[in-house]
Structure 1
Amino acid sequence: MQRAFRQTGEWHIPRYDEAARTIARLAASGLEPIITRFIPDPAENGSWSSYYDRWHSMRLDPDDPIWDIELPGIEATGSVDLPTFSKWGQELAERIPVGEEIILTGVATDCCILATALGAADAGRYVTVVGDACAGQSDAAHDQALSLLELLSPMINVVNSDTVPR
């Protein structure tokens, strides 16, 4: 939930604000968020260089304010920052034991949510994706990503925010 996806531009997510409101409501109900951020690696190793050739306007310094969290109602401190689509890695693995659940919300459903869900499931965590607390590059891309994730039940479950246990 970063400025890069909220503001107008190449990575704009049209339903960002809708997802942000749902995430804020979930956080207000007692769920404690772990904030994650996509932060580019200036080295652009391997295929990342070609990726940024396509998205040249996003070839920005990791400290650029475009990477700041924009999630009204939630204070973003101590984020997990990675230069990859998936935010699953050592830091989240240490916080969420094998066999436990991670609840995913955010953007983009068809990129970071999809990649993180797959990584966490591969690592033996149960994944719950809150569909209405996510948004994609388009409604079609969002729906397609959720449909793919639903195929992996019971490792990955897709739910609506009103069914998330608090």
Structure 2
Amino acid sequence: MPARQNEWLIVVDMQRAFADPPSPWASADFYRALPQVERLVEAYRGRVILTRYVAPMPPTGAWVSYFEAWPSLLLPEQHPAWELKLPPGEGVFVETRATFGKWDAAMAARVGQDAALAICGVATECCVLATVLGAIDAGRFVRLATDACAGGTPEAHGQTLGILAGAAPLVELVQTAALV
């Protein structure tokens, strides 16, 4: 079933920090997923949100120890590592969050009360998972484009898809071709 009229696409964190070495967060499968993400952005134009993760500045709480483990990514919001790898273009909104999960009240207000969601991006086991869980907890139906997602490792990607399959019927795992 192609894109639904009331369905929005959320593209999670397709940024340089998750694409390109020497970043410790670079996904080996980022560039495998990117062509599918680009197809989805074009199909959903006018109903697309590109999210950007940025480090919380300054980190507080558990983020302090997190960035002690990942100090090379404690970077200001304007740093090139946080740049998107695909241009927003017309009909595409950009939302920046200092959280793994991107679904929140502001995003819900942007897409509207009755919108379903298609989600893709990186990393499957982290920000994609957190965004999907937040959306389904809020009662949204999610179709996850599995071939337009990339994990930190192929194993982590596959394990996360296994977990999300257990959330059916709130989450439907699909290929990009089913959405365009």
In the TM superposition, residue 124 of structure 1 has moved relative to its aligned partner by 0.7
Counterpart of 2:108 in structure 1 is 93
Letter in 2 for 1:86: G
48, 56, 78: which one aligns with 1:63: 78
Letter in 2 for 1:29: A
Q: Are residue 152 (structure 1) and residue 162 (structure 2) matched?
A: no
Higher strand content, 1 or 2? 2
Q: Output the aligned Cα RMSD.
A: 1.7
143, 151, 155: which one aligns with 1:140: 155
Letter in 2 for 1:141: A
TM-score, length of structure 1 as denominator length: 0.92
More RCO (CA 8 Å, sep 6+): 2
In the TM superposition, residue 30 of structure 1 has moved relative to its aligned partner by 4.2
Q: Are residue 12 (structure 1) and residue 13 (structure 2) matched?
A: no
| Matched residue SS, 2:49 | coil
Are 2:48 and 2:93, in contact at CA under 8 Å, matched by a contact in 1? Answer: no
Q: Are residue 162 (structure 1) and residue 151 (structure 2) matched?
A: no
Letter in 1 for 2:62: S
**Residues 4-153 of structure 1 aligned to structure 2 (within 5 Å):** 4-8=17-21, 9-31=23-45, 32-71=47-86, 74-75=88-89, 78-153=93-168
| Matched residue SS, 2:48 | coil
TM-score, length of structure 2 as denominator length: 0.85
| CA deviation profile, 1:6-31 (whole Å, cap 9, x unmatched) | 11020011111111111111223345
Identity of aligned residues (%): 35
Residue ranges of structure 1 left out of the alignment (5+ in a row): none
For 2:82 and 2:74, the matched residues in 1 are separated by: 12
Residue ranges of structure 2 left out of the alignment (5+ in a row): 1-13
| Matched residue SS, 1:34 | strand
* Distance change >3 Å, CA 30–CA 88, structure 1 → 2: closer
